[in-house]
Structure 1
Amino acid sequence: MTGTTPPTALPEWLLRGQQLRTAAAAHDFGTVFRVARRQAGISYSQIAIACDIKPDRVGTLARGQGKVTSFEKIVQICDALRIPGHLVGLADRPWEPVPTGGGAEVDEVLRRRFVQVAGLTATMPTALAASSGRIGQRDVARLRERTVRLRRLDDVLGGGDTYRLYTAEYQATKAKLRDARYDEATRRALLALLAEQAQQAGWAAFDGGRETDAVSLYEASRAAALEAEDAALAGNSLAFLAYQRLGGDRRAGAEIASQSTRTIDASTPASVRALLHERRAWACAVASMPTEAERSLAAADEALADVHGQPQPDWAAWVDRTELDIMTGRCWAELRRPLRAVPVLEAALNRYDDSHARDKSLYSSWLAHAYLTAGEAEQAAAVVSRALALADGVASVRPRQRLAPVIDDLSAVRYRTLPAVSEMLAQVPG
């Protein structure tokens, strides 16, 4: 390795071990830290300083609580511990050596770098044709496949990390619509793709705290979807806009969500029907409309029963039984019905993998809220502690925004002396 080797650099023999390689590939840095201390004698305090992580956070991760999901933090850990990039899915780091001999080692490095260049190309805006060239349906299909791949980043990264990438994709498609040549069918396909990309970019903007940008992108999405005559995407853009309004005029937000469900017709895919109905349920719950919320949850449940065996658009395919259960629990928590909210949220979150750190942390906030509504402060504090650990390092403003009111309530004098609450409050960033 080139340059100054830090004292936290893992020895070569440890990097060859299967336990560490498996943990690194899964981004399970808690196990990496634990193995580094036990087998290489690198203390948690040394790791904390080198990786710029609070010492208690290093210990929490080593105990199997929480995940590191920020791209920047993953890079920082790899550089501090000298974990080669390919072990975690990154390009080779600047400090990694370039073999000068021959044989299999050189071939492997060259192979990795070829894959890395291909991977970088797949995550940067690119033109399938010159701006003045002609494109067809096959080109649009390739762009849609690319959009599907990039959407997967939202599973593990927050909007603060993905916003620029998704916006660049949207702008690249917009440029094709403006500059390329195509027939009418391709134009409509491009417009539908543009609407889909605008929704993804708007979601990242919302998740990253860019409220104004999110509204603008959702409105642009609706305009493109209407021009493309794609009712499903038009309906989803309304559902997104309804989410934005719920922070202000809640009744208006519920009405926009109702408009989104009125776009449903006999051709609407089942997953889209489920998505629009569950989002309306949430809007109605926030607007204190329990009867309408329950009706929409039932409609979403009915739609999900029709999903099996039918082709569904990728942008709605994430709506499944667990997602609907979480939404059901969220609605009942918002309506202050903890006896209905807690069981369904507990069961659904137990099925939800910690690798989805942002979403699990966010959804846990409603479980904590439901416990506190039921007068179970210790249980609420325990849930908040887990949610804070999950949210640490995630480039999303929403988990912390949602947890803040629960933390404020638990800070009341009548709760502060409870051990679980005092431990949780000590975990809150200053």
Structure 2
Amino acid sequence: MNWSSQAIRDAARQGDYGRVVSLVRRDAGVSQSQLGDACGISQSAVSRLEGRGTASYDMAILARAATHLHIPPRLVGLADHTAAHGAENGQHDVHRRNFLAGTAAAIATPTLAARHPKSADPGQAATLRVATTAFRRLDGTTPSRQLSEPVLAHLRLIQTVTGDAEAPEQRARLAAAGSEAASLAGWLAWDMNDIGSARTWYGAAIKAARTSGDRLLTAYQLGSLAGFETDAGNTAQGLALVRKAHRQLGDAGPAIATAWLGTIEALAHAAAGDRPAAEAALDQATRSADALQEEQPPPWPWVFTFTHAKVAATRLTCGARLGLVPWVTASQDAAAAALMSSHEKQRALLMLDLATAQLATGRLDGAFALAGRALETGARYRSGRIIERARGLRRSYTSTTPPRAVREFDDRLHGIYL
């Protein structure tokens, strides 16, 4: 594609980013349906995107389309983080580190320039959120220890800009952006098994969400902390946080929020050993997932779409926690998309749930083969969360004469130091 063509330049200059997408898509021989499939939206949503003219755009959808079509971000009004593509496509770690080191500085330029009194403030917060989204997408293929430092630098930038904001509306929008960045910092600390820092950052995310006045965002952050506390063994606190999140949503929450929160609640009930309550929460999540409209992008702060495969993956995990092997077996096919996800760390955790179920049925070779694959992922990404889950699975097997598969697993596990 000739990025300097007159048609592309005119559309970009006028702010008609949908026309830029349309021109590039046609030149590449990609149909609207194919682009929609790649971006997780419908053909009609692509059509609406391309026909928006100079109206405001959903920046997350625009970023997905630009990424798939390899459009330079500047041509569609986005911060230039093109180097992220190399990291997401599995290029050499040096390229990924270069991107991580430079992202905060790259984002700072347009953001600080936007502090001019005549700037459009909504774009300032949105630009910061685009950077957070880019970091979140990198999480699946990047060790948290590499990602944590640039995310914290990005968060400090948001805090500085928020402190300089004068109008209450501007501070509220920037507080929302800061809430999402703090939540990501908490997620990364959780993956590194830094429990204290994770709890601190999740708490900061909730506080900033409340400052923003965004009830949906507040519910999201309460649910995120609920998932963390449940995983840390604080089941009662996790369930209390879920109830608070439900109250924030009320009866008019979007389907993706109620579906996702239903899975968080189901996991907490399963951790507490309450099968009926876990099943009821899963059923509610399924009904909410049925109500999702594919042509609509997930509302911020969700970055990824929510599917029935994710509900099935939660049922699989609940089955592992409750010792219900039939739940695991029945959910495995439906959860196949999650088991083949490009988010390797999440896939490894799901593999450990499968290994737990196999261990419960005495299938030692299969259990420790799966656990070994998950352990390799944990070591590669230096994920303390995965390693600790693998250690927990090993502790659950107490034979004094372990077979060869278990001894080989022990050899690998004992050689990992994070």
| TM-score after normalising by structure 1 | 0.67
| Partner in structure 2 of residue 313 of structure 1 | 299
| Partner in structure 1 of residue 60 of structure 2 | none
Q: Which range moved further: 280-289 or 245-254?
A: 245-254
1:168 equivalent among 141, 153, 166: 153
| Partner in structure 2 of residue 362 of structure 1 | 349
1:394 correspondence with 2:376:
no
Superposed CA deviations along residues 230-268 of structure 1, whole A, max 9, x for unmatched, are 111111221222234332432232222222222223542
User: Partners of 1:405 and 1:234 in 2: how far apart?
Assistant: 32
| Partner in structure 2 of residue 120 of structure 1 | 102
Instruction: Say if 1:92 and 1:160 are closer, same or farther in 2 by CA, change over 3 A.
Output: closer
User: Partners of 2:204 and 2:377 in 1: how far apart?
Assistant: 33
Instruction: Say if 1:118 and 1:363 are closer, same or farther in 2 by CA, change over 3 A.
Output: closer
Does the aligned pair in 2 maintain the 1:124–1:165 contact within 8 Å? no
Instruction: Say if 1:91 and 1:326 are closer, same or farther in 2 by CA, change over 3 A.
Output: closer
Q: Which range moved further: 170-179 or 185-194?
A: 185-194
Q: In structure 2, list runs of 5 or more residues that go unmatched.
A: 1-85
| Partner in structure 2 of residue 324 of structure 1 | 311
Structure with bigger gyration radius: 1
Does the aligned pair in 2 maintain the 1:410–1:421 contact within 8 Å? no
Q: State how 1:3-402 maps to structure 2 within 5 Å.
A: 88=92, 90-91=94-95, 120-121=102-103, 126-127=108-109, 128-129=111-112, 133-134=116-117, 136-181=121-166, 183-246=167-230, 247-308=232-293, 309-318=295-304, 319-345=306-332, 348-349=335-336, 352-353=339-340, 355-402=342-389
Q: In structure 1, list runs of 5 or more residues that go unmatched.
A: 1-73, 76-85, 94-115
Does the aligned pair in 1 maintain the 2:202–2:221 contact within 8 Å? yes
C-alpha displacement at 1:146, in angstroms? 2.1
User: Partners of 1:256 and 1:264 in 2: how far apart?
Assistant: 13
SS in 1 for 2:396: helix
* Identity over aligned pairs, percent: 24
SS in 1 for 2:151: helix
| Partner in structure 2 of residue 409 of structure 1 | 396
Q: Which range moved further: 119-128 or 159-168?
A: 119-128
Runs of 4+ in 1 over 4 A off after TM superposition: 89-93, 116-119, 121-125, 130-133
Task: Specify the code of the residue in structure 1 equivalent to 2:377.
Answer: L
Does the aligned pair in 2 maintain the 1:377–1:410 contact within 8 Å? no
Instruction: Say if 1:220 and 1:382 are closer, same or farther in 2 by CA, change over 3 A.
Output: same
C-alpha displacement at 1:132, in angstroms? 6.9
Instruction: Say if 1:209 and 1:385 are closer, same or farther in 2 by CA, change over 3 A.
Output: closer
C-alpha displacement at 1:398, in angstroms? 0.8
Does the aligned pair in 1 maintain the 2:358–2:367 contact within 8 Å? yes
User: Partners of 1:143 and 1:405 in 2: how far apart?
Assistant: 38
Task: Specify the code of the residue in structure 1 equivalent to 2:184.
Answer: Q
Superposed CA deviations along residues 276-315 of structure 1, whole A, max 9, x for unmatched, are 1111111111112222211111111112222222332254
Instruction: Say if 1:346 and 1:157 are closer, same or farther in 2 by CA, change over 3 A.
Output: farther
User: Partners of 1:394 and 1:360 in 2: how far apart?
Assistant: 13
Task: Specify the code of the residue in structure 2 equivalent to 1:362.
Answer: L
C-alpha displacement at 1:119, in angstroms? 9.2
Task: Specify the code of the residue in structure 1 equivalent to 2:189.
Answer: A
Does the aligned pair in 1 maintain the 2:151–2:181 contact within 8 Å? yes
C-alpha displacement at 1:221, in angstroms? 1.4
Q: Larger RCO: Structure 1 or Structure 2 (Cα < 8 Å, ≥ 6 residues apart)? A: 1
| TM-score after normalising by structure 2 | 0.69
User: Partners of 1:285 and 1:123 in 2: how far apart?
Assistant: 44
Task: Specify the code of the residue in structure 1 equivalent to 2:187.
Answer: W
User: Partners of 2:373 and 2:410 in 1: how far apart?
Assistant: 12
